[in-house]
Amino acid sequence: MSVVTPTVLAEEFCRVRSQSLALCAPLTPEDMMVQSCAEASPAKWHLAHTTWFFETFILREFRPGYRPFHPDFLWLFNSYYNAVSAQPEKKLRASFSRPTAEEIIAYRHHVDAAMEDFAAGNVPEAARERIVLGLNHEQQHQELLITDVKNAFWNNPLHPVYAQGPRAAAQEASSLKWVDFAGGVAEIGYKGKDFCFDNETPRHKVYLEPFRLASRPVTCGEYLRFMEDGGYSRSELWLSEGWSTVQAERWQAPLYWRRNEGGLWEVFTMHGLVELDDLLATPVCHISYFEADAYARWAGKNLPTEAEWEVAAAAAPVSGNLLEGEKFHPQAASVASQMEQLYGDVWEWTVSAYLPYPGFNPLPGALGEYNGKFMCNQMVLRGGSVATPASHIRATYRNFFAPATRWQFSGVRLADH
């Protein structure tokens, strides 16, 4: 990690912690209790768990005499760290009517005050590293909070609006181009002194055959043509598990698409229901790995490997439609360039399974459970989304979800080999 002065670290702590509360500002206490799908968590749980992280891994370990806010919070807001304590089943998080949202805010204030007092002293390097990890952990939960609220509002028959204000007007999609990459020996994985997660290391060599990547993600209009060509009813386009999932879940379109009373497609967004015709140029989102793979097969193309994606993105600046823009939905590409929308808008599925890099070593102790124990039955996504904080994403960042996952802002960029 790079050298971070106490003042800069304190400012970043306040900024990230405040951002979480700002994202909850449009929500009522009742909104903050909803857990609408198996992958999601209530908003108030996100606020509590991110606070739990600082209390558990920093204050309890590095600040002698620290008095925890509540003795039961150690296990109540533990997510999956078995080395720390037992924890409630994830599906039960919506049943926690107590503690109230007000008490959870008080919990945050209690921990923040203790953290600020602790940071004013001589902070050991190990504690500083954990603070930086905790801030990145909270940024991950900020993205989850947005996607979880969207799913909760979609499942509400009133389809509430989260974000007020004008939406971008309908646009035409930029023409899709193919960008060639020579292949050969390349290096991937994090290299530098700033923060990265353990699963981004170690940096290592890979060999790539020559490949091409699409200049932008697949749009809603392009995906609609796949649907109109029987994409969801043609078993030959699907992986076996994907086809079984389509049949069992009765998928006919991406998540949040529905037909209105007139038979036209409309899409639920954080701004409410929008006619699909207004979104045809925007990247398709909320599709699973299975859908991304089936679309690629229908188009006669492939999904990129994560190494191909990283090599293509390595020199690109991190900019795009990210959380700070507060658009909360993918936008049509606005700048014509060789590689468009690499960052933000939608996470891009890759064909790569989420596995350890050669020589991978997880963090010691309970924090080793953060990434390593999920390296099974998951697929890698790259690039961030409209809900990802800008300071959180980079070319080497590896996101991962099970292949049937759709509630994230996930899309697809084609590859050709």
Instruction: Return the HEC string of 189-202.
Output: CCCCCCCCCHHHCC
Query: Taking the CB of residue 132, how many other CB atoms lie within 10 A of it?
Result: 18
Find, among 221, 223, 214, 39, the residue nearest to 143 by Cα. Answer: 39
Given this model, what pLDDT does residue 333 score? 87
Residue ranges of the chain assigned to CATH 1.20.120 = 6-155
Residue ranges of the chain assigned to CATH 3.90.1580.10 = 178-416
Which of the 8 DSSP states describes residue 347? E
Q: 6-155, what's its fold?
A: Four Helix Bundle (Hemerythrin (Met), subunit A) (1.20.120)
d(CA 178, CA 214): 5
Given this model, what pLDDT does residue 174 score? 83
Backbone angles phi, psi at 71, to 5 degrees: -65, -30
Given this model, what pLDDT does residue 164 score? 85
Given this model, what pLDDT does residue 121 score? 82
d(CA 391, CA 4): 15
Residue with token string 């947005």: 146
257 - beta bridge partners?
A: 267
How confident is the chain (417 residues) per 10-residue block, as mean pLDDT?
Answer: 70 96 97 94 97 97 95 94 92 91 97 92 92 97 98 97 75 88 97 94 98 97 98 98 98 98 96 96 98 98 98 94 96 81 97 97 86 94 98 98 98 97
Q: Which two tokens stand for residue 292?
A: 């991304």
| Residue 192 zone, left/alpha/beta (φ > 0; ψ -120 to 50; rest) | left
Given this model, what pLDDT does residue 1 score? 42
Given this model, what pLDDT does residue 70 score? 96
Q: Which two tokens stand for residue 248?
A: 């069992």
Could you tell me the sign of the dihedral formed by the alpha carbons of 20, 25, 28, 31, in that order? Answer: negative
259 - beta bridge partners?
A: 265
Given this model, what pLDDT does residue 168 score? 59
CATH C-level class of 178-416: alpha beta
Given this model, what pLDDT does residue 112 score? 97
Q: Which two tokens stand for residue 284?
A: 């398709």
Contact 360, 197 (CB under 8 A): no
- The pTM score is 0.95
d(CA 56, CA 130): 11
d(CA 210, CA 311): 12
Contact 29, 101 (CB under 8 A): yes
Given this model, what pLDDT does residue 252 score? 98
Beta pairing, strands 257-259 & 347-353: unpaired
- CA distances from residue 354 to 122, 128, 382 in whole angstroms, order as listed: 38, 28, 11
From the CA atom positions of the chain, what is the Rg in Å?
22
Given this model, what pLDDT does residue 4 score? 65
**What is the chain's length?**
417
